[in-house]
């Protein structure tokens, strides 16, 4: 077991996304997962039906006790639904977690279309989380909100990544799964000027619940294990693709992935 990842995110009662998907992903990739839960959600594959936020002071207590004892090699954030929660996590990243790689997944809308970030919290996310990101992992709708740009092409994805990067993120991975077409292209922009494209055939499937959470946690695991960002993104994409391809077809909506499939190659 190599690579300690502290996950700061919401719980998914269906087990397909959020903290549950994060723990499965980190564990299967050989890392050690610890958590600071930001919210409890009542959800299934068809939607999110309730959210119970956790007191920001208690979120901090969870995270700081973990860092004081076990420690961490990387931080991954997911659902940070309110301004006070975002402020608390920013305080942590400037405090006990200072200097650790931070994979920031700017969770705004669930796969089923349910809002997971309060509308008044978007500005705080941009102001407080984007500049603290080692890598930010928005999908196309999230990248549009963050950048203020309409994205209809790979050129637009690069432009959005550059604009988000100008807000302080050291790297931005714009995920292309929401685009049309038989190919899925993800764009990795880095502050040093390097831009990489990752392309694969689209896997026709409704089993995509938790893909964003799983990808971000996989990237955090790779960074915690000492992998380069590029290699970590490549392994993470391969992991998520196979998890989609071998998904168990559970539920009546957007089904969960198969996080337990064997990982081949590093």
* Domains of the chain, start order: 4-245 (3.40.1190.20)
CA 240 centroid distance within chain: 12
What's the confidence (pLDDT) of residue 1? 80
Phi-psi region of 210 (alpha: psi -120 to 50; beta: other; left: phi over 0): left
Residue 266's pLDDT is 46
In the numeric block, which tokens belong to residue 44? 């299934």
- Give yes or no for residue 264 having a pLDDT over 80: no
The Cβ of residue 87 has, within 10 Å, a number of other Cβ atoms equal to 15
Give per-residue burial for 5-39: e unless 16+ CB within 10 Å, then b: bbbbbbbbebbbbbbbbbbbbbbbbebbbbbbbbb
State mean pLDDT over 117-138.
Answer: 91
pTM for this predicted structure = 0.95
202 three-class SS: coil
> Is pLDDT of 174 > 50?
yes
Position 180 confidence tier, pLDDT thresholds 50, 70, 90: confident
pLDDT, tens only, 60-85: 999 999 999 999 999 999 999 899 99
Mean pLDDT of 3-25: 97
pLDDT interval class at 121 (50, 70, 90): confident
Report pLDDT digits (tens) over 199-248. 999 999 999 999 999 999 999 999 999 999 999 999 999 999 999 999 99
């Amino acid at each position: 077991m190599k690579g300690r990842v502290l996950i700061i995110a919401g719980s998914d009662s269906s087990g397909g996304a959020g903290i549950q998907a994060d723990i499965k992903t980190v564990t299967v990739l050989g890392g050690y997962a610890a958590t600071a839960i930001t919210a409890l959600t009542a959800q299934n594959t068809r939607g999110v039906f309730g959210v119970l936020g956790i007191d920001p002071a208690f979120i901090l207590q969870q995270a700081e006790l973990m860092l004081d004892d076990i420690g961490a090699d990387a931080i991954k954030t997911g659902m940070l639904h309110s301004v006070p929660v975002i402020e608390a996590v920013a305080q942590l990243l400037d405090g006990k977690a200072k200097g650790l790689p931070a994979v920031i997944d700017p969770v705004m809308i669930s796969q089923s279309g349910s809002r997971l970030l309060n509308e008044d919290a978007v500005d705080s996310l941009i102001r407080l989380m984007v500049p603290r990101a080692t890598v930010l992992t928005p999908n196309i709708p999230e990248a549009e909100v963050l950048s203020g740009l309409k994205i209809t092409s790979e050129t637009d994805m690069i432009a959005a990544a550059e604009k988000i990067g100008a807000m302080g993120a050291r790297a931005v991975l714009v995920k292309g799964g929401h685009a049309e077409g038989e190919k899925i292209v993800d764009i990795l922009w880095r502050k040093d000027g390097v831009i990489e494209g990752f392309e694969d055939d689209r896997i026709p499937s409704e089993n995509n619940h938790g893909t964003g959470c799983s990808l971000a946690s996989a990237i955090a695991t790779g960074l915690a294990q000492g992998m380069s960002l590029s290699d970590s993104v490549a392994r993470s994409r391969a992991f998520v693709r196979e998890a989609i391809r071998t998904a168990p077809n559970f539920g009546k909506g957007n089904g969960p992935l198969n996080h337990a499939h064997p990982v081949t190659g590093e």
